[in-house]
Chain A
Amino acid sequence: MTEPHPLITAYLDNALSEAEYEELLAWLKAHPDHLRAFVEANVFEQQVRSAVVGEVRRESAGAFVQDEESRRRNPGRDTAGGLMDRFVWPWRSWAMAGAGVLVAGAMIIWWMGQGAGLRPTIASTQGEVQILRDGQRIPANTGEPIRPGERIRTGPNASAELRLADGTSIRMDGSTDVGFLPGKAARQVQVKTGMVRCDVAKQPPGQPLVFQTPHADLTVLGTAFDLLAAPVESRARVHQGRVHWADGGPGVEVAAGEACTADSQGIQAWQPVCNLDFRTLKAVPPQLETVFCNEESLLTARRRIVPAPNGIRLEDGGLRFATLPHAFGEHGLAVTRWTEPVGGDVAIEVELSAAAKVDGDSTPPADPASERNPNWSLQIAVDGDSFDGYRVVFAAPKYPNGIEVDSIHPVEWMLLARDPRPMPEAGDHTLRVEKRRSQLRVWVDRELRIDTALSYPLAPDRKRTFALSEYGAGPLIRSLRVWRGGRD
């Protein structure tokens, strides 16, 4: 496909000066191919114009349907006036048409002002929720309508639920900023930052709802998904239906169970590997193999890795590693690894509770105050297992006092990256490790803690899988979700 002549482009944009117009006419006369190219460009441009106009008109189909019903109810007008009457009516009924246009114009302005039917309202709030209106921050109240052009912001520990006229629910987590655009962009919801969990009602044909983040647009026709907009990337996880995820290029279709991210490197679709809710599972899935390596041989060339099926157990509320000396009689590293290769590009999310573990006993303590275990740690390994891949070590509150990325391949311990800021000691948290090509990102809840490029060489013959491991006091793992990069 050749680029059109700059004069043609300028003509299509109505941007020709008088001199350029003369130049264009001379160029068109210079060769028949020039005129042909000019006509083809114009024909295509006009097709685009009429298709866009048609699309917008179809979006107003409701009005046409009403009009059609009204005509059916009053059939006499057509038969009396006949074809010519319909054809020339603007001239005969000029005054009526003028008035009609005024009324229609007023209705269109009103309709645009109403956010093209989205009509968001605040269904509920918790904590500090504000509306940014006319440059002022005002407290948001339940039931309050949000006008086009306004933004809603939740405070760090606040939340809000917005409802659209069609029943769509948008639940905003804390520190989230959502805006509704005015005018023709009124079917767009801007997620400037933060997390929204959406349950989108079925949208009318040709009128998708578009969620804009700083990195990409998510187009939906009726689905449920979570969408996060963070400074370095935006990501979505689709629970139901399909969405279209694009950053200006053709984009990708993302189906239920899949996830997608967008950042400065572009967009990425993630295929589900597993979605394990350990709170409801009756048995550990067979793809999870648990092994143990004692401390003595761990950092030597002769690692003694032995099967340890009793190294993990399901208990009330999730999955937990067994207490190491109790289970194995010695200290070491317990590893639960996925037996199938998943590739090097992987995203892993672990939901955990840092509840106390009672050695040898899964009964929850009677005293709720003791349900806090400040000394928990968990490792997530990617691009290999905990022995030959990259490990992300989360630990609270002591060593390594925060998060570190390391590897113990081939034998020695190699520190690759570190964030010394302390981990939250108690409560429920979501840990996320995302590796895409050489880039590794580590998140705790919604906070990006490490964003680093890895170049440390791993064994080429390793199984490119993932693993969870721990060497001390493991938290209660509520769920494990894993996606691998790319498509089948």
Chain B
Amino acid sequence: MLNEQEQERFMRLWAESQQAVVNYIHATVRDGAAAKDLAQDTALVLFRRFGEYDGDRPFLAWALGVAQHQVRGFHRDAARSRVCFDTELLAQFTELWAETAAAATERSSALEICLERLPARPRLMVRLRYFEELKSEEIARHIGSKSAAVRVALQRIREQLRACVEQQLRMQRRTT
């Protein structure tokens, strides 16, 4: 059992890395409900195994290693999985995720601004996709469109958001 000081330390490190780990699980599992369960399981494992954590290593890399193990376990269940990343590819993916996610944290506030600026229809589409976790076919039914058109539109929205975020970051850099 962790003492109070260790609990505080864990919570601080976890708060910094939680989003990247949860996002990683969502990206590799591609099933919202399963990803949420797996994220909770991972958080619990991390807490229980925090005593094994080497403080000289980045916490995110360690947490992603644990998450990777959870994801592999999930995919091992043949009933759930079709084709999945092999161990080596998942390890490479995880390593790159640690690098990329750490560098991407500065984008969060810019992304919030850009999301707020989305017109109503694209905004509705991203909410249906990411909050309601609807598939393209379901979104298409909801907004009176075709699933292929929804996929194209979502890709465009992502590109628009990415361009907007880059512009926001450039502006922030100019002003600082």
Residues on A facing B (Cβ under 8 Å) = 1, 3-4, 9-15, 18, 21-22, 25, 28-29, 35-36, 38-40, 42-56, 82-84, 87-88, 90, 184-185, 188, 206, 210, 212, 217, 219, 244, 246-251
Contact = CB atoms under 8 A, between A and B. Distances in A.
Contacts of B13: none
15 contacts: A1-B163, A1-B166, A18-B83, A38-B93, A39-B96, A43-B23, A44-B104, A46-B23, A47-B104, A51-B111, A53-B131, A83-B7, A83-B8, A83-B11, A251-B117
Contacts of B67: none
A13 B154 contact: yes
B119 A47 contact: no
A28 B162 contact: no
Given A15-B136, A251-B119, A45 B27 contact: yes
Contact of B117 (A9, A18, A248, A250): A250
A120 to B, nearest CB: 18
A47 B83 contact: no
Given A1-B163, A44-B104, A49 B130 contact: yes
Nearest to B47: A87
B interface: dominant SS: helix
B120 A217 contact: yes
Given A9-B151, A184-B124, A247-B119, 9 more contacts: A4-B155, A21-B83, A22-B83, A44-B107, A50-B19, A52-B127, A210-B120, A217-B119, A251-B117
B151 A47 contact: no
Contacts of B43: 87
Contacts of B82: 18, 21
Contacts of B8: 83
A43 B97 contact: yes
Nearest to B127: A184
Point out which of A46, A54, A206 has the most chain B C-beta atoms below 10 A from its C-beta: A46
A248 B125 CA distance: 12
Contact of A43 (B22, B104, B135): B104
B100 interface: yes
Contacts of B101: 43
B145 interface: no
Interface string B129-147: 1111001100000000000
B120 A219 contact: yes
Interface in B17-53: 19, 22-24, 26-27, 30, 40, 43-44, 47
Nearest to B1: A84
Q: Which of A28, A38, A44, A82: most chain B Cβ within 10 A?
A: A44
Contacts of A249: 119
B126 A48 contact: yes
B66 interface: no
B32 to A, nearest CB: 9
B92 to A, nearest CB: 6
Contacts of B16: none
B131 A56 contact: yes
B162 A9 contact: no
B76 interface: no
A15 B115 contact: no
Contacts of A4: 155
Chain A contact residues, majority secondary structure: helix
Interface residues of B, number: 59
Nearest to B154: A13
Given A25-B83, A46-B24, A39 B115 contact: no
Interface of B: 1-2, 4, 7-8, 11, 19, 22-24, 26-27, 30, 40, 43-44, 47, 82-83, 85-86, 89, 92-93, 96-97, 100-101, 104, 107-108, 111-112, 115-117, 119-122, 124, 126-132, 135-136, 151, 154-155, 158-159, 161-163, 166
Contacts of B7: 82-84
Given A1-B159, A9-B151, A13-B151, A88 B44 contact: yes
Contacts of A210: 120
A355 B116 CA distance: 49
A51 B131 contact: no
Nearest 4 interchain pairs by C-beta: A46-B23, A42-B27, A52-B130, A49-B130
Contacts of B131: 52-53, 56, 184
Given A1-B159, A55-B115, A90-B40, A49 B23 contact: yes
B158 A48 contact: yes
Contact of A35 (B93, B115, B121): B93
> Among the interface residues B108, B120, B128, B151, which one has the most CB atoms of the partner chain A within 10 A?
B120
A330 B27 CA distance: 83
Contacts of B97: 39, 42-43
A42 B158 CA distance: 11
Contacts of B154: 12-13
Contacts of B122: 248
A50 B23 contact: yes
Nearest to B109: A51
B151 A51 contact: no
Residue from the set A22, A52, A87, A244 with the largest chain B CB neighbour count within 10 Å:
A52
B23 A188 contact: no
Given A18-B83, A29-B89, A45-B158, A188 B120 contact: yes
Nearest to B122: A248
Contacts of A185: 120, 124
A47 B117 contact: no
A53 B130 contact: yes
Contacts of B40: 90
A334 to B, nearest CB: 46
A44 B158 contact: yes
B27 A51 contact: no
Contact of A40 (B100, B108, B128, B155): B100
A248 B121 contact: yes
Contacts of A25: 83, 85-86, 89
Contacts of B83: 18, 21-22, 25
